[in-house]
């Protein structure tokens, strides 16, 4: 019992440490939050008119805001995950991690602190991005239940990508590598149905777009918020998230348990 | 005994770092592991502080077995490593609070303890600043203060004064001496003979992963020559004549120099010069060397310290 409560207490201590880092050096947080906002404005105001007309209706920009917002929400999550990989990799270069390892504290707390910190940061980011989307014309049809479900799916994706990013941060030999690998997460929504329908792509790409993990997540969030058909995307989205999160969690744990040979 | 090790071994790939190390450190004493870079000092500390698992051998720290009760060992020790182990994004005070929280101290106790340590290490003024603005000596003091938050029974100090200026070094020595007043055991590594001599109750000399000597500073110094004179000559002929006149000397033909053991007294110096005068040998120059780590190594291992860094 005491072991469990100490583990929880250590995790809270580590979370406080990470939140303090974020507050004191907000530049990384701001950059990660700025990225999806820039994408949102770029895709709505620069590409939105043309892309919106290509969606089939004649909705133009107004229709495209609805189409692209779920993808931007995914970009928000992916962007924050990238930040986790960087901050974990940076942390591992600090001598203080060696100190933590020589103390009688829960080993998992060091990673849990990062994960919970990122999740909090991402939720705030999602709120801000949703607010801006609403301000530029996003008009969802969702009721309270759909909003809650969409939030749940995005939260699940956040936790999954964050654990994967922790592993990528741990496995990276340098901070630079750590900031490059998770770029894939930022790219994937583009290679799916996030920004344009997958049907409009060449065969090989379309095949990839239809089967990659971000597509069912985008389709689910879009379906929940705008009432478009979801089909089996919901279950696929949950399955992918559990898989990514599970692998990320186990991989992180084994990487962290590994000795650092200086 | 606070720290006991038996047959510690560790290799990285085919490089043997520790080759069977047996140590005994009595409670409440300062023990120093002395050796050059690459001798295996940091690896020993990393093993004893649970960071690295040995390939073979066992160790007991503060009554707990390293292999079977690592968490009990962790609860009893503190480590101030060679590399700064402070959180560089938190202020000095926040670093200490962080340690207090991780030691599960009640909030008020933690605050009080942090304030005491800041005061004791003269860091109160810098408490609200981040360690990036600190000098090397201040950083090291904060590092040690963080180690002390948890009241460890055994403290590992890995090269605590490397890179510090002479004044900070003295301050650090005073601090380390004071620590044992509360019955704490100190396990310190150093490459400086004078540091071990100044602080340690007992010393073990590590060379290439093996212990080559163990004892009190006085016992060790008895095994080390008292120092030497180095005489330089203009040509090999003079050098050879001088070597013939001074029996215990070792010539170095390449450097045209002669190494003569001495106890450092004026009369022994005068005796050497008198011998040279008597044989009419002309020396170009003379320097007096007090014993250093190099001398310890030369006498204990038969070779000089190899810088592996």
A104 closest CB neighbour out of B75, B90, B98 = B75
Most confident of A134-143, A227-236, B101-110, B282-291: B101-110
Give the closest-approach CA distance of A181 to chain B in angstroms.
Answer: 25
ipTM above 0.90, yes or no: no
Residues of A in contact with B10 (CB under 8 A): none
Question: What residues have CB less than 8 Å from A140, skipping those under 6 apart?
Answer: A66, A146, A147, A225, A226
CA separation, residue B166 to residues A222, B163, B193, B195, B254 (Å):
67, 9, 15, 11, 35
The C-alpha atoms of residue B267 and residue B276 are separated, in whole angstroms, by 14
Instruction: Indicate the residue of B79, B84, B101 with minimum beta-carbon distance to A13.
Output: B101
* pLDDT score, position A92: 85
Chain B residue at shortest CA distance from A96:
B85
pLDDT for position B309 = 35
3-state secondary structure of B227: coil
Burial class (CB in 10 A: 0-12, 13-18, 19+), A222: buried
pLDDT at res. A262 = 39
What pTM value is reported for the model? 0.80
Least confident span in A70-79, A160-169, A179-188, B171-180: A179-188
Q: List the single residue in B42, B53, B87 with the smallest CB-CB distance to A94.
A: B87
- Cα dist from A107 to A7, A133, A255, B153, whole Å: 8, 40, 12, 22
Query: In chain A, where are the structural domains located?
Result: 7-257
Query: Least CB-CB distance to A102: which of B49, B72, B84?
Result: B49
B131, B139 contact by CB (below 8 A): yes
What mean pLDDT is predicted for residues A95-122? 89
What are φ and ψ of residue B21, in 5° steps?
-110, 125
Residue ranges covered by each domain of chain B: 3-222, 228-290
Of A17, A20, A99, Cβ closest to residue B79? A99
Q: Each residue of B183-231: pLDDT tens digit?
A: 899 999 998 888 888 899 999 988 888 888 888 887 777 776 667 888 8
The pLDDT tens digits for B29-84 are: 999 998 888 888 889 999 999 988 899 999 999 999 988 998 899 999 999 877 77
Query: A95 to chain B: nearest residue by CA?
Result: B85
Q: Can you give the pLDDT at residue B294?
A: 65
Q: Please provide residue B29's backbone torsions phi and psi, each rounded to the nearest 5 degrees.
A: -115, 165
Residues of B with CB below 8 A from A110's CB?
none
**pLDDT 10s digits, B107-132:** 999 999 999 999 988 899 999 999 98
Q: pLDDT per residue over B265-290, tens digit each?
A: 788 888 888 888 888 888 888 888 77
A172: left (phi over 0), alpha (psi -120 to 50) or beta: beta
Whose tokens are 């120099």? That residue is B257
Query: Percent of chain A, pLDDT > 70?
Result: 97
- Provide the angle, in degrees to the nearest 10, between the axes of the packed helices A214-226 and A60-93: 130
Tally Cβ neighbours within 10 Å of residue A46.
Answer: 10
Query: Please, where are the H alpha helices in chain B?
Result: 41-48, 70-76, 92-102, 107-120, 136-148, 166-179, 193-199, 217-222, 236-245, 266-278, 293-301
Alpha carbons within 13 A on the beta-carbon side of A118: 32
Domain B3-222 in this protein, CATH class? alpha beta
- A107 touching B (Cβ < 8 Å): no
Q: How confident is the model at residue A2 (pLDDT cuts 50, 70, 90)?
A: low
Q: What's the gap in Å between the CA of B38 and the closest CA on chain A?
A: 12
A261 touches chain B (CB under 8 A): yes
Cβ–Cβ below 8 Å for A13 and B94: no
- Smallest CA–CA distance from A87 into chain B, residue: B89
Residue of A6, A13, A102 with shortest CB distance to B51: A102
Pick from A99, A117, A256, A257 the residue to mutate for testing the B interface (most B CBs within 10 Å): A99
C-alpha to C-alpha distance for B255 and A163, rounded to whole angstroms: 62
Q: Mutation target for A interface from B10, B12, B88, B89: give the one with most A CBs within 10 A.
A: B89
Q: What is the pLDDT of residue A28?
A: 82
Question: Is pLDDT at A261 greater than 50 in this prediction?
Answer: no
Residues whose CB falls within 8 Å of the CB of residue A4, separated by 6 or more in sequence, listed in order = none
**Thinking of the domain B228-290, which architecture would CATH place it in?**
2-Layer Sandwich (3.30)
Structure confidence by residue, pLDDT tens digits, A13-53: 999 999 998 888 888 888 888 999 999 999 999 988 888 88
User: What strands, in cross-sheet order, belong to the sheet with B30-34?
Assistant: B77-80, B154-158, B185-190, B30-34, B202-207, B210-215
Tell whether the model's pLDDT for residue B99 goes beyond 90. Answer: yes
Which residues of chain B are within 8 Å of residue A21 when distances are taken between CB atoms?
A: 89-90
Place of tokens 């016992």: B219
Q: Using the beta-carbon criterion (under 8 Å), do B83 and A101 form an inter-chain contact?
A: no
How far is B190 from chain A, CA to nearest CA, in Å?
Answer: 18
Percent of chain B residues topping a pLDDT of 70: 93
A192-206 confidence digits (pLDDT tens):
888 888 888 888 888
pLDDT computed for residue A1 by the predictor: 46
**What is the percentage of chain A residues whose pLDDT exceeds 90?**
42
The strand pairing partners of B185, in sequence order, are: B154
Q: Do A107 and A11 touch, CB atoms closer than 8 A?
A: no
Chain B: which residues have CB within 8 Å of chain A? 12, 42, 46, 49-53, 71-72, 74-75, 77-79, 81, 83-90, 94, 98, 101-104, 146, 150
- Name the residue with tokens 């207090």: B100
Main-chain phi, psi angles of B273, to 5 degrees = -65, -40
Chain-wide mean pLDDT for chain B?
86
Task: Give the closest of B74, B90, B94 to A103, CB-based.
Answer: B74
Nearest by Cα to A105 from B98, B4, B95: B98
Give contacts of B83 with chain A, Cβ < 8 Å: 95, 98
| pLDDT exceeds 50 at position B308 | no
CB contact under 8 A, A259 and B52: yes
Coil, strand, or helix at residue A216?
helix
């Amino acid at each position: 019992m005491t072991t469990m409560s100490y583990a929880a207490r250590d995790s809270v201590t580590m979370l406080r440490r990470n939140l303090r880092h974020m507050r004191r050096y907000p530049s990384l947080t701001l950059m990660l939050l700025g990225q999806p906002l820039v994408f949102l404005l770029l895709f709505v105001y620069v590409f939105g008119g043309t892309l919106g007309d290509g969606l089939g209706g004649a909705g133009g920009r107004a229709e495209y805001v609805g189409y692209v917002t779920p993808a931007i929400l995914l970009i928000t999550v992916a962007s924050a995950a990238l930040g986790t990989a960087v901050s974990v990799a940076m942390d591992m270069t600090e001598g203080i991690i060696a100190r933590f390892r020589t103390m009688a504290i829960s080993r998992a707390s060091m990673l849990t602190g990062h994960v919970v910190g990122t999740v909090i940061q991402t939720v705030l980011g999602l709120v801000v991005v949703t607010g801006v989307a609403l301000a530029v014309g996003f008009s969802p049809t969702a009721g309270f239940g759909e909003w809650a479900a969409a939030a749940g799916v995005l939260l699940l994706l956040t936790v999954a990508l964050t654990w994967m990013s922790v592993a990528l941060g741990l496995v990276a030999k340098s901070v630079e590598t750590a900031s490059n690998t998770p770029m894939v997460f930022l790219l994937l929504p583009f290679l799916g149905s996030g920004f344009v329908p997958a049907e409009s792509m060449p065969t090989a790409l379309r095949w990839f777009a239809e089967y990659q993990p971000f597509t069912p997540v985008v389709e689910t969030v879009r379906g929940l918020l705008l009432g478009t058909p979801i089909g089996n995307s919901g279950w696929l989205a949950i399955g992918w998230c559990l898989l990514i999160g599970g692998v990320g969690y186990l991989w992180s744990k084994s990487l962290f348990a590994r000795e650092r040979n200086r | 005994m606070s720290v006991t090790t038996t047959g510690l071994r560790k290799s990285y790939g085919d490089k043997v770092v520790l080759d069977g190390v047996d140590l005994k450190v009595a409670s409440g004493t300062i023990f120093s592991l002395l050796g050059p870079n690459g001798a295996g000092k940091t690896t020993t500390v990393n093993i004893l502080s649970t960071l690295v698992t040995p390939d073979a051998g066992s160790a007991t720290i503060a009554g707990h077995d390293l292999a079977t009760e690592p968490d009990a060992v962790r609860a009893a020790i503190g480590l101030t490593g060679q590399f700064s182990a402070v959180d560089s994004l938190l202020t000095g005070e926040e670093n200490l609070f962080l340690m207090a929280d991780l030691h599960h101290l009640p909030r008020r106790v933690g605050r009080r303890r942090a304030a005491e340590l800041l005061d004791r290490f003269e860091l109160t003024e810098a408490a609200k600043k981040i360690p990036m603005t600190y000098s090397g000596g201040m950083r090291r003091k904060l590092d040690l203060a963080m180690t002390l938050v948890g009241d460890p029974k055994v403290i590992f100090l890995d090269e605590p004064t490397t890179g510090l200026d002479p004044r900070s070094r003295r301050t650090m020595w005073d601090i380390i001496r004071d620590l044992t007043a509360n019955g704490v055991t100190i396990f310190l590594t150093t490459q400086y003979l004078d540091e071990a001599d100044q602080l340690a109750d007992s010393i073990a000399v590590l060379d290439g992963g093996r212990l080559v000597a163990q004892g009190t500073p006085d016992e060790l110094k008895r095994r080390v020559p008292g120092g030497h004179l180095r005489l330089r000559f203009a040509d090999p002929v003079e050098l050879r004549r001088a070597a013939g006149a001074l029996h215990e000397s070792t010539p170095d033909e390449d450097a045209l120099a002669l190494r003569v053991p001495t106890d450092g007294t004026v009369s022994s110096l005068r005796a050497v010069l008198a011998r040279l005068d008597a044989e009419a040998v002309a020396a170009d120059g003379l320097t007096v060397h007090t014993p250093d780590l190099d001398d310890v190594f030369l006498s204990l291992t038969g070779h000089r310290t190899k810088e592996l860094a």
